[in-house]
Amino acid sequence: MSYKEKYKKWLELNIIDEKTKDELKALTDEKEIEDRFYKDLEFGTGGLRGIIGAGSNRLNIYTVGKATEGLARYLLDRYKENIAVAIAYDSRNMSPEFAECAALVLGANGIKVNLFESLRSTPELSFTVRELKCNAGIVLTASHNPKQYNGYKVYGHDGCQITDEAAKSIISEINSVDYTDVKRISREEADKSELLNIIGEDVDKKYIDTLKGHTIRKGLVEEHAKDLNIIFTPIHGTGLMPIKRILTELGYENLHIVKEQENPDGNFPTAPYPNPEDPKVFELALKMANDIKPDIIFGTDPDADRIGVVVKVSNSKYQILTGNQMGVLLTHYILDAFKEEGKLPLNGAVIKTIVTTEMVRELCADYSVELFDVLTGFKYIGETMGKFEETNRNTFLFGFEESYGCLFGDHARDKDAVITSQMICEMTLYYKNKGLSLYEGFINLCEKYGYYKETLISIELKGKEGQEKISNCLDYLRKNEIRDIDGVKVKVAYDYKNSKENNLEINEVNTLDLPKSNVLKYVLTDGSWFVVRPSGTEPKMKVYAAVVGTSLDDSEEKLRVFEKNIMKIINNILL
């Protein structure tokens, strides 16, 4: 069916409300109509994410309903009866409405729903699925995307975002659903039935108490938490309630909230791109720092699974840490603290993604901890944690990815900015008591392990043409294998779509034991590497690059040159 036929069908369908039809009738730009209808909004390996609006390629109550009907069919086929699903939502526009829509579709299919009374974080949803022994979970969020986006993430019974095998089955069910097939009960019917259970404080308390139990150096926190000076911004998201609560209960008395960004607001008035990776979101916090002189500053994205950190360099200067730098600091702190406390297991493991810093490799080896690499996406970290549980081969200690996501503890299977804020405060307190800032602690690690430097280049390519350019670029790179970058030879080329590891030094090809993914990675003989992949959540192609140097200046210069040479290749292909 062409986009014009789909557009016409939506205008004719009786189930489409008049407000939605009016929005569609008001469209005058043919390109806009095409973009809204040239495809159905894709249910990827984790769920839906798209621009809010009318159309088959937009997020609205009809696309959410269709996805939920497909999910319901999958659950009914897999579990047959006594099925339960937990649903949470963040501060984004339409999140409450989409959450209720999903609840009413599930209810119409005879599935019990545990719906949070108000907005909650993504990590608490992951915890809740496990705590309430649900068969699945849904969270309405577009994470750190701009305000026009929302999303629909699906979790399995283990609290982990659905992985590839389950996603394929769910996608198959969704594809078999027509908009007219979607069943709904009314909110009144749901409230009267036993199929809708509103949850809140009881689950909140269990979640917070569980996190508090993960404190490592308890004596340090009990005695000195009051001495730490903190600035926190929830960036108009869900982080305020859980982070303020947990830090207060742990005794951190000097917690200062950025007032302009304190209240939940889906329009994100002070941060058009509510991403803690973006330095702009910390401008207000840094203004506060002039008077407060905090030891640490941090901020969370709208669903509070990612966290960005700003550290003190001197009394008047602060510096933003990258996700890689923060992950290295936390890895070292956790392993060192466990070793000091005599709690470091013999089979300990740290998990990172293939686009995350290599700085932790030697660090983990120093503590006799095994390091695992997984595909990009925290669900693969969660999936690996599940395998540890099944086999007892390894004990999970910490997981992180370069995109500001970390998990400490086994209470969830997704990144958790709430417990990460707790651990950042504990770590900062530890360094402060030793007369060091976190920045100085990081430099000490660089002196020992090398000055690693990484960057991410995001190339925005919108619409159908943009998606074709991304696909063509990766196809070209596969057919024309890169052998060197500015004279430095490629040592190993990884093609995760074809499960191929090509060692060019010894001319040997091996099979990769990871799920298939449209990703290419090149490791050079000098330790530098780069990765090219399409974004799974935005109309972008992502290029990751990394080098290792002998000093800050050396690594920065190496990265500048390396990035320039890589982008010359990429841009020539995209032209």
pLDDT tens digits along 25-43: 999 999 999 999 999 998 8
How confident is the model over 81-88, as a mean pLDDT?
A: 96
pLDDT for 520: 97
pLDDT tens digits along 288-318: 999 999 999 999 999 999 999 999 997 778 9
Question: In this model, does residue 208 exceed pLDDT 90?
Answer: yes
Residue with tokens 């020539």: 572
The residues pairing with 547 across neighbouring beta strands, listed in sequence order, are 453
pLDDT for 314: 79
pLDDT for 283: 97
Which residues form the catalytic set?
A: 143
pLDDT band at 169 (very low <50, low <70, confident <90, very high): very high
Exposure string over 416-430, b if 16+ CB within 10 A, otherwise e: bbbbbbbbbbbbbbb
Helix, coil or strand: residue 18: helix
Residue with tokens 């659905």: 162
Phi then psi for 144, rounded to 5 degrees? -105, 10
Helix, coil or strand: residue 400: strand
pLDDT tens digits along 392-411: 999 999 999 999 999 999 99
Question: In this model, does residue 537 exceed pLDDT 80?
Answer: no
Question: In this model, does residue 450 exceed pLDDT 90?
Answer: yes
Question: In this model, does residue 188 exceed pLDDT 90?
Answer: yes
Question: In this model, does residue 238 exceed pLDDT 90?
Answer: yes
pLDDT band at 523 (very low <50, low <70, confident <90, very high): very high
pLDDT for 171: 93
Q: Element (H or E) spanning 371, and its range? A: strand 370-374
The CA distance from 1 to 7, in Å, is: 10
Q: Is 225 exposed, middle or buried (0-12, 13-18, 19+ CB in 10 A)?
A: buried
Question: In this model, does residue 45 exceed pLDDT 80?
Answer: no
The CA distance from 221 to 424, in Å, is: 12
Exposure string over 5-32, b if 16+ CB within 10 A, otherwise e: ebbeebeeeeebeeebeebbeeeeeeee
Question: In this model, does residue 529 exceed pLDDT 90?
Answer: yes
Question: Which percentage of the chain shows pLDDT scores above 90?
Answer: 93
pLDDT for 464: 80
Mean pLDDT computed over every residue of the chain: 96
Question: pTM of the entire structure?
Answer: 0.94
Contact between residue 284 and residue 260 where contact means Cβ atoms under 8 Å apart = yes
At position 185, the amino acid (one-letter code) is: I
pLDDT for 364: 98
How confident is the model over 406-423, as a mean pLDDT?
A: 98
pLDDT band at 164 (very low <50, low <70, confident <90, very high): confident
Contact between residue 50 and residue 151 where contact means Cβ atoms under 8 Å apart = yes
Q: Element (H or E) spanning 380, and its range? A: helix 378-391
pLDDT for 117: 98
pLDDT tens digits along 326-362: 999 999 999 999 999 999 999 999 999 999 999 999 9
pLDDT for 356: 98
Q: Element (H or E) spanning 210, and its range? A: helix 201-212
CA distances from 566 to 496, 528, 545, 574 (A): 19, 12, 8, 13
How confident is the model over 156-179, as a mean pLDDT?
A: 93
Contact between residue 274 and residue 91 where contact means Cβ atoms under 8 Å apart = no
Task: Select from 530, 183, 517, 243 the least CA-distant residue to 379.
Answer: 517
pLDDT for 42: 87
Question: Which percentage of the chain shows pLDDT scores above 70?
Answer: 100
Cα-Cα-Cα-Cα dihedral of 225, 227, 229, 234, to 10°?
Answer: 20
DSSP string covering 283-311, please? HHHHHHHHHH--SEEEEE-TTSSBEEEEE
Question: In this model, does residue 463 exceed pLDDT 90?
Answer: no
Question: In this model, does residue 575 exceed pLDDT 90?
Answer: no
Question: Are β-strands 84-89 and 112-116 bridged in parallel, bridged antiparallel, or unpaired?
Answer: parallel
Domains defined for the chain, CATH in brackets: 39-199 (3.40.120.10), 207-449 (3.40.120.10), 451-574 (3.30.310.50)
Contact between residue 176 and residue 93 where contact means Cβ atoms under 8 Å apart = no
How confident is the model over 470-477, as a mean pLDDT?
A: 94
The CA distance from 322 to 300, in Å, is: 14
Question: Are β-strands 488-495 and 395-401 bridged in parallel, bridged antiparallel, or unpaired?
Answer: unpaired
Contact between residue 445 and residue 427 where contact means Cβ atoms under 8 Å apart = no
Alpha-carbon Rg for the chain in angstroms:
24
pLDDT for 322: 96
